[in-house]
Amino acid sequence: MIRVICRAGKIPNHWARLSLLVKLNAGQCIHFAPALTCIFRRAAGPQPKPDCFQQFFHIRLFLVRRPVLVAALPVIEFSCVQEPVGVRQWKRGLRLAISRYMPTPALPESHVPAVFSHKFGSLVKCVLGGYDRLRFRGTLRPLFSPKWMRGLLCSAKILLKDFAQHAQKVSQQIGDRARQTAADQSRPYHYVRGSSSDFDKEAWAERIAQQDGIQDGLIGVLGAVEPCSAMTVRANHQTQRLEPVHEYRKCLHFYHYFEDATFGRCHVRVQSWYPFTVDICLNGRAMLARQMDEHKLAYLKADNCFLQLADPQAAQKLADEQLRLDWPAHLNRLLKLAHLVHRQVLLPLYHLEYYWTSNQSEYATDLVFKDPEQLAKLYRAFVHHGIMTFHTPRVMRFLGHQVPLKSGKVNGRFKGPARSDRIERHEGTCLRHGVGINGIKIYDKFAQVLRVETTLNAPEVFKVYRKAPASAPVKLPPRTKKPSSPTHSGTASTSKPSSVGPQAVIRTNSCVAPQTDQPPRRWQRLRRSVTDMPRRAEVSRAANGRYLEALASTRGIEPLGPAVRKLCQPVHKNGYRFRGLNPLSQPEATLLEIVSRGEWTINGFRNADLRKHLYPLATRSKEQAHRRSAAVSRKLRLLRAHGLIRKVPGSHRYLLSTEGRKLITLLLAARKADVQQLSAFAA
């Protein structure tokens, strides 16, 4: 922190005396009490330039050359013990001098790591991180169960043999209401004939919005027959009965496109067949544009990225407010606009509500560069660095499949596609790394923005600190009957069931059984529920930061020899001696190449992950599996002792350290360098 303390006194020419106290992060204090005087001028006429101006100028250069001070300058406080004459002009001059003579604040470390900011921060104009594409799904979870489906039909007094006729009637009601909504608002309805995937729905909505000048409200409604997960009734040939079953089929879907006051351009997709699944797609950048319009912040937007921001700090605060949004309330609001008959369909289960989950989320960190030419030069190096160090020799290994290192033959049972993740798009070149159905990618958008984006389709690999899963439901005691006794009417009377505790009371339409006690909080799997949207953004932002940290090792100025000298020497840690590494040998070079794979930047790697790549053949016995696990544990201890990796607290996962990423990049580049180029360089 920089603290400027101003003391005014009676000095010649009405100049204010200034003393500057610089407090470092390590606790060291440097006090420039003398000679920092007479730099602010009273507004009563022109004054001669003070003699100490040159000395102040040299001290400013001294501050700029210290990198620890440059990173510690964003917070500036000042206080005046005795206000001089012309307080307003004096404070204005103080702010002007601070903005003129103090270095530019560094990039925010919450989105950009310090190692990347130190190397490329001077080339970046501003940084913006937040959600990009979001896809939510609303489901009526009990209707996916055949038992609950049978209960719904029984409550509605619908026979199983009449289910097809009933479902077609409900589907017709949903379609008629969608078309009537479009007609009431004088908006077009279009039915997509043929394959729905060949029709560009987003382009259709954009064309309609541009033609009619839609700024708020419904744009139009599309109808398309698409595959879906549905409930229907089929005959069971073994039991000779009709039963509700869950199957995949096609049905009519309705796309409602809106210009929403909160989310901007979005659409709601309604399934017209049981169980009436709803999908809502929106864009976090479009929502941020609406927020900045409301706060009257100027910006220049192209597609889904911002090329210029008048106030990047204020824009980032608005983007962070999206994490605290009440998602169920806003999604239910959009549901009421597009699906008006769901209450009539669920009339027997009037307490049943849609359960909202996030099927896909994209969190993007945008770095807006000052000069497009500088970004073009760096991006070529970034792509080359990613191809050379962030993927394995085979695309199958990069996608997480087991391929032997020696033979390189793909398992014959694999029938899926295998392709390179370097894609040319209209906005730039994209380099994508995937692990499972999650991925992380970079691309240069419109030659001005470097975007790092993490896509989460299966967030279960991450952890969130929350309450433990629901325990077993309360078991109700069996009903007991008293011995029947004859009454005056000659009938037998039975007593009421025995009383149960208040925690055992179950609501009639509740889908969740009551719990016996409050479960403790601990680290659990990250859910797809919208409740964990803040944690989803946190892990995505951390993945983007690790990727930028890996890209920071692209450009280095250290020679290879001094950089890896310590790696080749033994080290002592916690009373143990660890041998030096031989990074150019084949076994240890293979180990370093495995731990530097691109997919580990998302969630780290474990002992089991390294065993899959170091020992591709299956184990023959439990003893052999234990020996392999112990061998990998020793390798991990060796890498930790040399500072190449670090352990994630509270887990069995490891990540590359900042120094380890830089050294491994140098070693892998040296092993793959061309001999002729090295000979020409040495000559």
DSSP per-residue string spanning 81-125:
SS--SSHHHHHHHHHHHHHHHSPPPPPPTTTS-HHHHHHHGGGEE
Q: Determine the residue type at 93.
A: G
pLDDT (0 to 100) of residue 466 = 82
Give CA–CA dist 328/317, Å, rounded: 22
Which of 4-8, 295-299, 359-363, 665-669 is least confident?
4-8
Q: Determine, yes or no, domain membership for 630.
A: yes
Q: Are residues 120 and 95 in the same domain?
A: no
Q: Which long-range contacts (CB under 8 A, 24 or more apart) does 652-655 make?
A: 652/606, 652/607, 653/603, 653/604, 653/605, 653/606, 654/595, 654/604, 654/605, 654/606, 655/546, 655/600, 655/601, 655/604
Q: Average pLDDT for residues 215-221, to the nearest whole number?
A: 93
Does 601 or 67 have the greater pLDDT score?
601
Is the pLDDT at 449 greater than 90? The verdict is: yes
Which of 222, 215, 189 lies closest to 293, judged by CA?
Answer: 215
Q: How many CB atoms lie within 10 A of CB 385?
A: 19
Question: How confident is the prediction for the chain on average, in pLDDT?
Answer: 75
What distance in Å separates the CA atoms of residue 43 and residue 65, rounded to the nearest whole number? 33
Of 9-18, 276-285, 311-320, 623-632, the poorest mean pLDDT is in 9-18
pLDDT level of residue 25 (50, 70, 90 thresholds): very low
**Containing H/E element for 662?**
helix 658-671
Given this model, what pLDDT does residue 91 score? 59
What is the C-alpha to C-alpha distance for residues 502 and 496, in angstroms, rounded to an integer?
17
Percent of the chain with pLDDT over 70: 69
Mean pLDDT calculated for residue range 25-36: 34
Q: In this structure, which amino acid lies at residue 302?
A: A
Q: What letter represents residue 405's amino acid? A: L
pLDDT of residue 191: 94
Residue 499 belongs to some domain of the structure: no
pLDDT above 60 (res 73): no
Angle at 401 between CA 400 and CA 405, to 5 degrees: 105
User: Where does a domain end: 276, 307, 339?
Assistant: 276
pLDDT higher for 266 or 105? 266
Residue 367 has pLDDT above 90, yes or no: yes
Q: What is the pLDDT of residue 462?
A: 82
Q: What is the mean pLDDT of residues 296-313?
A: 92
Which pLDDT belongs to residue 436?
72
Instruction: Give the integer Cα–Cα distance in Å for 563 and 659.
Output: 10
Phi, psi (degrees; rounded to nearest 5) at 137: -130, 130
Q: What is the mean pLDDT of residues 512-518?
A: 52
Contact criterion met (CB below 8 Å) for 161 and 234: no
Q: Of 132, 123, 107, whose CA–CA distance to 451 is shortest?
A: 132
User: Which of 427, 456, 426 is CA-nearest to residue 364?
Assistant: 456
Same domain, 91 and 203: no
Which of 276, 296, 313 is where one domain is finished? Answer: 276
Tell whether 294 and 384 lie within a shared domain.
Answer: yes
Residue 337: predicted pLDDT: 92
Contact 324, 534 (CB under 8 A): yes
pLDDT at res. 186: 93
d(CA 473, CA 495): 26
Q: Domain of residue 51: give its range.
A: 2-101
Cα distance between residue 283 and residue 264, in whole Å: 8
Per-residue pLDDT tens digits for 160-172 = 888 889 889 999 9
Residue 450: the pLDDT is: 93
- In angstroms, the CA 57 to CA 192 distance is 70
Q: Is the pLDDT of residue 4 over 60?
A: no
Residue 352 lies in a domain: no
User: Which phi and psi angles does 297 have, rounded to 5°?
Assistant: -105, 130
3-state SS assignment for residue 631 = helix
Q: Which residue has the higher pLDDT, 151 or 391?
A: 151
Find the range with the poorest average confidence among 31-45, 323-337, 508-522, 563-577: 31-45
The answer to whether residues 299 and 394 belong to one domain is: yes
Report the sign of the C-alpha dihedral through residues 579, 582, 586, 592, in that order: positive
- Between 533-551 and 372-389, two packed helices, what is the crossing angle to 10 degrees? 90
Compute the average pLDDT of residues 181-191. Answer: 94
- Is the domain of 175 the same as that of 310? no
Q: What is the average pLDDT across 207-214? A: 92
pLDDT confidence tier of residue 258, bands split at 50, 70 and 90:
very high
Q: Is residue 335 part of a domain?
A: no
* Sheet with strand 2-7: strands edge to edge: 29-32, 17-23, 2-7, 76-80
Q: How many domains does the chain have?
A: 4
Q: How many residues does the chain have?
A: 683
* Beta bridge partner(s), residue 134: 282, 361
What confidence tens digit (pLDDT) does each residue in 585-594 have?
888 888 988 8
For the cut 70, the answer to whether the pLDDT of residue 667 exceeds it is yes
Identify the H or E element spanning 246.
strand 241-260
Does residue 57 surpass a pLDDT of 70? no
- DSSP conformational letter for 349: T
Shared domain check, 524 and 399: yes
The alpha carbons of the chain give a radius of gyration, in whole angstroms, of 33
Distance CA 273, CA 253 (A): 9
Q: Which two tokens stand for residue 276?
A: 């009436």
Token duo for residue 668 = 């892998």
Higher-scoring residue by pLDDT: 490, 636: 636
Q: Is residue 596 part of a domain?
A: yes
| pLDDT tens, position by position, 417-447 | 445 467 776 666 788 887 777 888 888 888 8
Domain match, 6 and 38 both: yes
What does the pLDDT read at residue 88? 61
Let me know if residue 597 belongs to a domain: yes
Are 183 and 257 members of one domain?
A: yes
pLDDT tops 80 at residue 397: no
What is the reported pLDDT for 507? 39
Q: Is a pLDDT exceeding 60 seen at residue 290?
A: yes
Quick one: 272 and 292 in the same domain? no
Q: Are residues 267 and 191 in the same domain?
A: yes
Q: What is the dihedral of CA 508, 513, 515, 519, to 10 degrees?
A: -140
Question: How much is the average pLDDT of 350-357?
Answer: 86
Q: Let me know if residue 669 belongs to a domain.
A: yes
607 and 550 belong to one structural domain: no
Helix and strand totals (H; E) in the chain: 21, 23
DSSP 8-state assignment for residue 177: H
Tell me the average pLDDT across 138-143: 89
Minimum mean pLDDT among 185-194, 206-215, 390-399, 574-583: which range? 390-399
Q: In this predicted structure, what is the pLDDT of residue 353?
A: 86
Q: Are residues 129 and 187 in the same domain?
A: no
If pLDDT is split at 50, 70 and 90, which confidence band does 473 have? Answer: very low
In a domain, 337, yes or no: no
